[in-house]
Structures are given as C-alpha cells and as structure tokens.
Amino acid sequence: MTLKLFFFCFAPSFTSSSILSLLLFFLLVHIGFYGQTIDAKKPPVPALIVFGDSIVDPGNNNKLGTLVKCNFPPYGKDFTQHIPTGRFCNGKIPSDLLAASLGIKELVPAYLDPNLTPEDLLTGVSFASGGTGYDNLTARIVSVLSLSDQLELFKEYIGKLKSIAGEERAAIIVSESLYVSILGTDDIANTYFGTPFRRPQYDVSSYTDLVANSASDFYEELYNLGARKIGVVGLPPVGCVPSQRTLAGGITRDCVEHYNQVARLVNSKISNKLEMLSTKFSDPKILYIDIYTTLDDIIRRPFNYGFEVSNRGCCGTGNIEVSILCNPATPPCPDVSKYVFWDSYHPTEKAYKALIGPVIRDYLPRLV
C-alpha cells in the first residue's frame, strides 16, 4: 500500500495531532532507510599524511634555514586570496587535490605551521620538504628536512595524536590513514648530476641502488610505525623539466634523455622493492604509482591536454627561475593556463589536476 493510498483509506478517522504523529513516524523511517547513504559519503580514510619534496611541501621550508623557499610572490598567484604559502606552485599542489577528492579537507597543511589546530592533526598533515630526496645527502646539501627528519616528526605527530584523541583512536587514525610520498627527482637532478659529491663514488647502477635501498628502508620503517596504506609516487621525466633542459639539453633545450633513463631505472628498482615489502608483510597496501607516463605525454603532446607551452615555466623566462630566482622581479606569464610548468621545476595547478586524475581513477581504489 502506498503512502498516498494509506491516507486516502484512513485519514478521515485521524485527528490533526495523529496525522502529525504519523508524518513524524514516516520521516523517521525515511531517515533510517537513508542513513547508510549519508554515512557512505564519509571519507574512506580518516586522514591524508604526506612525505616528500617540493611537489608536496605546503610550507615546511618556511621554518627552515634554507634558500629553497617560495613564501613570496609570484608563488601563490592563483591560491586562495593570492597568498604565497610556501607551496612551489601558482595554486594548489597534489596533496591538496588528493585530500579534496577524498572528501577529507581542501588543503593539507605543513606540519611545521605554528597555526595548526587539533582538527588539522586529526585529518592529516604534510612533512614534505622542498629539496629533499631518498639520499640523505640531498637534504643536507640544501639544509632541508631529510626523510629521517620527516620520520622523526611523524613520531612526534603520533604523540600529539594520542594527546588529542587518546591511544585507541590515535592508533586507528595511524593504521587507517592514507600515506602518500613524492620524492626522488632532486636525487637525480641535483645530487647526482648537479653536484660532484656522488658521481666519483657511484656509477648510475650503484647510485640508483642506493636510492632504491633508502626508499625501501623508509617505507619499512613507516610500516613499523603503523602505516598500512602507502602510495609511493615514482619519479617524473626528470630530463624534460625546464631547468634541466636549460642546464643539460644543449642549445635547443631538448629533453635530457639520459636523465630520463636514470629516472625510469629508479622507478623500476623502487617498484621492485615495494613488491618485496608487500610480500614480507601480510597486511599492508604498498602501491607504486606511475606518473612518469602521464607527465611525459603531457610534456610531449601539451595540446592534447589544453596546454600550449611545456618546455619552459610561466615565471620569468621560464628557463631557470625557481625558488628565490622566481620572485617579484621575475613576473609571471600573462596566461598561466597555457603552461605545463609554473616555474622551471614545478608544474602548474592545472597540470597537477591533469596528473592527479589518472591517479585517483587507477590507483586510489586499490589503496582505500
């Protein structure tokens, strides 16, 4: 019997108060039926916790004695209220976009931000530091947070979680959160090819082994600290980044294919290490996430993605400007939407959106 027919048959014998009671009854039944749908819209993980380099550093380097900073214009040109927060971008960065897609929050804050609230901690933070890498020397060269430093801060973070939420809830947040890491580019572009410190000691094969072994040690330690859902983003086509084209791509600023080969080798070795860790531990989800393929395609065929310029950045000449070289004296291009890269090293928010789409579609369901 439908609700309409129910009232047609029985309404004449009802008082106004009994009709009101009946309506309330059906309202409560309706809420009961659809309560599960409401609950299903809750984020699939309680928090997003991020490790890595400048791609996902939302401002930790602001608090460090390093030149690798960007808390000044024109960085943040297209961010909320045009504020330069320390994100190496014109707007939002991948961790922000991922957190929003999960329904957790709009922005993932820096752990070293002095204005963090308890809610910020409960829903996730970023420990990333621009300029760092899997090789601890990479961080030391530019005085930023190494992966070891980031792990120590994560341990401190767990202690803060316990004081805010209690031991039991803190343990649930740690084990059920999504962990994402993005780093490795600076190991190749800066430490190995950009300085004289590693090449006298390591050939490409042995250095990529060092990077992969360091990555494996880091993710095993992260697992030991309670992480169970870990997404590891691989290296991009390092040799096609504008600054590397300028420094090593010759007069025509071509992609440096040798750098790209090394990036692919690192990716392969890290992917193999992650498979070994997955075999070693029975309960984690440790997943290698390939962005090399998508970004390489965006760079080589920008028009297919709505871009026009992919060999230089929007800031200044776009050939070399990054960090302190991208500043108010080096104004940005008139239309950033045409550019894959914001500065000579980091993509624009629009490019990040093009990159994060396949990650959300192809990898996120396997992690959460």
Per-residue model confidence as pLDDT tens digits over 47-96: 999 999 999 999 999 999 999 999 999 999 999 999 999 999 999 999 99
Task: For residue 54, indicate whether it is catalytic.
Answer: yes
Given 54, 146, 271, 310, which residue is catalytic? 54
- Exposure class string for 21-51: b at 16+ Cβ within 10 A, else e: ebeeeeeeeeeeeeeeeeeeeebebbbbbbb
43-237+257-293+348-367 folds as: Rossmann fold (3.40.50)
| CA–CA distance, 332 with 84 (Å, rounded to integer) | 14
Which residues, in sequence order, are bridge partners of residue 165?
none
User: What is d(CA 197, CA 179) in angstroms, rounded to the nearest whole number?
Assistant: 31
Is the pLDDT at 358 greater than 60? The verdict is: yes
The domain limits of the chain are: 43-237+257-293+348-367
Query: To the nearest whole percent, how much of the chain has pLDDT over 70?
Result: 89
Q: Which of 57, 177, 343, 344 is catalytic?
A: 343
| Residue whose tokens read 């060999």 | 311
Q: Is the peptide bond before 58 cis (omega within 30 degrees of 0)?
A: no
Mapping DSSP to helix (H, G, I), strand (E, B) and coil, where does residue 360 land? helix
Average pLDDT, integer, range 139-143: 98
pLDDT value at position 355?
A: 97
* Exposed e or buried b per residue across 247-265, where buried means at least 16 C-beta atoms within 10 angstroms of its C-beta: bbbeeebebbeebbebbbb
Section 337-361 average pLDDT: 97
Q: What is the mean pLDDT of residues 221-227?
A: 97
Angstrom distance (rounded) from CA 367 to CA 240: 29
Distance CA 177, CA 124 (A): 8
* pLDDT band (50, 70, 90) for residue 282: confident
From the candidates 135, 186, 271, 346, give the one annotated as an active-site residue. Answer: 346
- Concerning whether 30 is annotated as a catalytic residue, the answer is no
Question: Looking at 37-46, 155-164, 187-196, 353-362, which range is the least confident one?
Answer: 37-46
Question: Token digits for 176?
Answer: 């059920």
